[in-house]
Structure 1
Amino acid sequence: MRARGRRHRGKRAAALAAQPGQRRPLPAPHAGFDYQIGGPYQPPAGVQVVSRDHSAPAAAGLYNICYVNAFQAQPGAEKDWGDLVLRDDDGNVVIDHDWNEALLDLRTADKRGRIADKVGTWIDECAGKGYQAIEPDNYDSFTRSQGLLSARNAQDLVKLLSQRAHGKGLAIGQKNTSELASSRADNGLDFAVAEECGEQDNCAEYTQHFGNQVIVIEYSEDGLRNACAKWGSTLSVVRRDRDVTPKGDSAYVRETC
């Protein structure tokens, strides 16, 4: 999975959170947010922060988060990764069947380094397009790896991605994986993007370690209702359709608190 209307300078300033001693601006807590990783479109009124796929242009005048699939291959792209695709003991590619994506092999420092180099070219591209942050997806792929990958493997790779992003002056968000939120500082992660924490009633697992620097994405009415009731006054919360389709598509859904 993954125009740009003019915004007053004050709007942009409101979407940036100043961090003492930190050159990387973060998305402001509770800012209007839109999740556009399925395709870019004109951000709705009130949106100050937007997340888009690395192949898309940044939205002018907004805080832009750049989505990269960092721990799995896009559907049909296994050949692009060569020996970096994870295989089981029988030589079969390990697949995330929910999204038909091959997992990447994070088990050695050499492979993690080569994965980070490839994803790093996208990070560099995001910086060049004017994005302010990176959202590396599938940090939790180790939980779908048939026991072949560990949480340590995932953290060792995300550290490399954090270093690359920070070197380009970009912030980096932890995507899901609340069980590793307590290690955010060691892993160099600046904010969190949490899918369905309202649905799963675990948003507090992120706020305990990220404070109000949490962006919540829901895909159901119940999830949105719960997220808004508990966190709507402090966190950025949006509901999107599961395929995150662009506005104008018949499947498009976008709601906020």
Structure 2
Amino acid sequence: MAAALALTALVSVLSRNPASAAATLPPTHAKFDYQIGGAYPPPAGVQIVTRDRTAAPAAGLYNICYVNAFQVQPGEQGSWDSDLLLRDAQGNVVIDEDWGEALLDIRTTAKQTRVAAKVNGWIDGCATKGYKAIEPDNYDSYSRSKNLISTGQAKAYLKLLATHAHTKNLAIAQKNTVELAGDRTSVGLDFAVAEECGQYNECGDYTAAFGNNVIVIEYTNSGRTKACSGFGTRLSIVQRDVDVSVPGDSGYVRKTC
């Protein structure tokens, strides 16, 4: 009877946390720095750092590897097969106008597999460098796709990345996209990276799905104040400037609770 109860408890834990047994999640309520705009020595006391996949991880810390998984970095369209760029009915590439990034076409299983093959190569590179987790950005690109990409297609594609990350003993985050947080287990997502959940009163929605395994980035004083007031004793929270610049730049901002 005791063994049966223990097995039931284990199944419950695993259903709550779909990470592979060897993947380590970020520590909760830890000091965090978001360095996707450029790597620099982390401030004193920082335990978690996110850096771009092209950068080396910070020695001795929990490092999260940022990859642009659903869109194309400016200037890199030529590195993708033309038919993997999402196109509208007129044949024009669909662009995220805020960042000048082309959307990737993940509307079919075949294309999801091809796009994932390239991104999984980046994930392999993150693992080789010593990163512990992956932050795949632009999960919500379907909302900018002119209704060409569905939420189901976005989830199916991200599940391919999550499955591969776990084979490399890497945890994988849900980046933003709070409306799909309830699907985190079926997709295979381990923790959340939420931009401006304080600003938009969404932090509670993330914790409902991920518990305290939520990292918060705010870009305004008001957003940071709200996040810290409601969740400052539970979550990792930092305020950065929108350009995520480095110390010494005129716009550099980093504040915490």
Q: TM-score, normalised by structure 1?
A: 0.91
Q: TM-score, normalised by structure 2?
A: 0.91
Uncovered stretches (5+) of structure 1, i.e. residues with no partner = 1-17
After superposition, residues 109-148 of structure 1 pair within 5 angstroms as 109-148=109-148
Quick one: distance in 2 between partners of 1:81 and 1:177?
A: 25
Amino acid at match of 1:27: P
Amino acid at match of 1:169: N
State the structure with bigger RCO (CA 8 A, min sep 6), 1 or 2: 2
1:77 CA drift (Å)? 1.5
**CA distance 1:73–1:163, shift in 2 (3 Å):** same
Quick one: distance in 2 between partners of 1:99 and 1:105?
A: 17
**Residues 11-50 of structure 1: CA deviation (Å, up to 9, x unaligned):** xxxxxxx999821110011010000000100000110000
Indicate if the aligned counterparts of 1:31 and 1:47 stay in contact, CA closer than 8 A: yes
After superposition, residues 200-219 of structure 1 pair within 5 angstroms as 200-219=200-219
1:12 matched residue in structure 2: none
Indicate if the aligned counterparts of 2:174 and 2:191 stay in contact, CA closer than 8 A: yes
Quick one: distance in 2 between partners of 1:241 and 1:144?
A: 23
Q: Tell me which structure has the larger Cα radius of gyration.
A: 2
1:64 matched residue in structure 2: 63
**CA distance 1:85–1:45, shift in 2 (3 Å):** same
Specify the SS of the correspondent of 1:192. strand
After superposition, residues 167-178 of structure 1 pair within 5 angstroms as 167-178=167-178
1:106 matched residue in structure 2: 106
Would you identify which runs of 4 or more consecutive aligned residues in structure 1 move more than 3 Å? Answer: 18-21
1:36 matched residue in structure 2: 35
Amino acid at match of 1:210: F
Equivalent pairs, count: 240
**Residues 193-235 of structure 1: CA deviation (Å, up to 9, x unaligned):** 0000000011111100100000000000110010010011100
1:179 CA drift (Å)? 0.7
1:76 CA drift (Å)? 2.0
1:73 matched residue in structure 2: 72
Amino acid at match of 1:64: N
Indicate if the aligned counterparts of 1:106 and 1:157 stay in contact, CA closer than 8 A: yes
Whether 1:228 and 2:218 are equivalent positions in the alignment is no
Indicate if the aligned counterparts of 2:19 and 2:188 stay in contact, CA closer than 8 A: no
Indicate if the aligned counterparts of 2:175 and 2:193 stay in contact, CA closer than 8 A: yes
Quick one: distance in 2 between partners of 1:165 and 1:208?
A: 24
Quick one: distance in 2 between partners of 1:239 and 1:131?
A: 23
Indicate if the aligned counterparts of 1:19 and 1:26 stay in contact, CA closer than 8 A: no
